[in-house]
Structure 1
Amino acid sequence: MALTESTMVDIGTTAPDFKLEDTMSGAKLTFDDVKGEKGTLVYFICNHCPYVIHTIDELVDVANDYEPKGIGAVAISSNDVEKYPVDSPDNMEAFALNNLFTFPYLYDEDQSVARAYDAACTPDLYLFDGEGKLYYRGRLDESRPNSGKPLTGEDLRGALDDLLAGKPSPEKQYPSAGCGIKWK
């Protein structure tokens, strides 16, 4: 597992639109379908990455905690399923159900959405404001597998709290880190 950091797209970038299949419902969903009134979390994840497995409970908790506050959430997997069949849509559905997702888990088969977002790793986290402008991109917190540091979600939760309080985007943002997206 080679550690890859997120690319840290410019704050203020408009959220690229998409139309991807939700592996749980079969519906084709767009950014507008998943966005929240006050903001939207976009998680690039996969089923097998140890960094995702380490953080998935907290990622789900963050989405659940902020949904009542007007924050939408979506997870997207863009990995090459021919080389990594564990990340197939059927396995994505099982992963979402096992981890109690309350938000869609979309399959980016041609990897165009990951490229549009300049996603680099799993997990790669983006928070857009209510206007669809990038407000935060970076890590959940400083915990990593086997680091001994507890999962708190403090970086992402702090950004969400600042967004909801009408504060400017946090000045200091650290890149997310995890497995590189498995490109075709």
Structure 2
Amino acid sequence: MATATTCTALSVVSTAGGARACLFSHLPRMLAKTNMSTTSIVSSKWIYSSKMALNPLQRECAIKKTVPTRKLQVRAARTESQGVSLGFRAPSIELPEPLTGKTWKLEDFEPYPALLVMFICNHCPFVKHLKKDIVKLTNFYMKKGLAVAAISSNSVETHPQDGPELMAEDAKILNYPFPYLFDELQEVARDFGAVCTPEFFLFKKDGRRPFELVYHGQYDDSRPSNNVPITGRDLSLAIDCVLSGQPVSQVQKPSVLIHLSGVFQEQNARMAEL
């Protein structure tokens, strides 16, 4: 499979000093590539181990005098979309649209022969680079029968500019023709295997069969700093094939991405119960 230069992503760096560490949902996936364990880089003040009966405050007191505390810092690094295979069935969706207040479900798109799901957000420079063209492309193909949904899964704790109020404002200003949905708990992102923005999932539907993934690649070769014109060529070719009943090429370039951010509430709750 061809590869492409990729954009900033979430990397975790452990540094001396500080008070507490945050757990990230995609941390185990990232650490697997570097042969590191989650426990080895999580702050020693907040040891994450089921073998210990102490609560976080007791652990802090027990190790405070002997082990230096550490914290996690978020920095930018380059990465590529990955993790799901072609043929993957579209998982369930039940998310609110901040602009209208409507809750959308996967069933709402069942009548359509194809569904494009885009993981985007307000602040990502690579999404900003494509936003206006995405509106043009989706307007064109939605008239041809394509269903489209955009999802923002970023944590408002780390990026308040990606919160629902500003999502609604962005959707209104840009006149998004598709629903822009808020994945507050990031559960849908995990179900899709989405880790970055922008990330494109194109599904096809044959009759009553479930939506099946046929394209998980880049928009085109344009990047914010490479002066290549935005054409949407890669994604457009895939959509054309799906809507015309032709097979989509399995040679697909990964998207240029910035990593989904945030502390996942599910893991915060789990830590609070220890």
Aligned AA (1:134): L
Structure 1 contact 13–133 (Cα < 8 Å) conserved: yes
Q: Larger relative CO (CA 8 A, sep 6+): 1 or 2?
A: 1
Residue matched to 1:129: 204
User: For residue 67 of structure 1, what is the aligned residue in structure 2?
Assistant: 142
Answer whether contact 1:76 1:108 (CA < 8 A) is retained.
yes
Partner residue, 1:23 = 98
Aligned length: 184
Match of 1:138 in 2: 217
Give the residue type in structure 1 aligned to 2:213. Answer: L
Shift of 1:35: 5.0
CA displacement 1:9-60 (0-9 Å, x = unmatched):
1111100011100111111111121456110110000000000000111211
Q: Which residue of 1 aligns with 2:125?
A: 50
1:96 matched to 2:171: yes
Quote the offset at 1:73 in angstroms: 0.4
Q: Distance in 2 between matches of 1:174 and 1:48?
A: 23
Cross-structure match for 1:183: 262
Q: Secondary structure at the match of 2:258?
A: strand
2: distance between equivalents of 1:34 and 1:98?
A: 24
Q: Which is greater in Rg?
A: 2
Matched residue, 2:242: 163
| 1:96-118 deviation per Cα after TM superposition (whole angstroms, max 9, x unaligned) | 11111011010000000001011
Q: Which runs of 4+ in 1 moved over 6 A?
A: none
Amino acid at match of 2:95: L
Identity among equivalent positions (%) equals: 41
Runs of 5+ unmatched residues, structure 1: none
Alignment partners' CA distance in 2, 1:63 and 1:145: 20
Counterpart amino acid of residue 48 in structure 1? H
Aligned counterparts of 1:155 and 1:64: Cα–Cα separation in 2: 17
User: Mind listing any 5+ residue stretches in structure 2 that lack a counterpart?
Assistant: 1-7, 9-75, 264-274
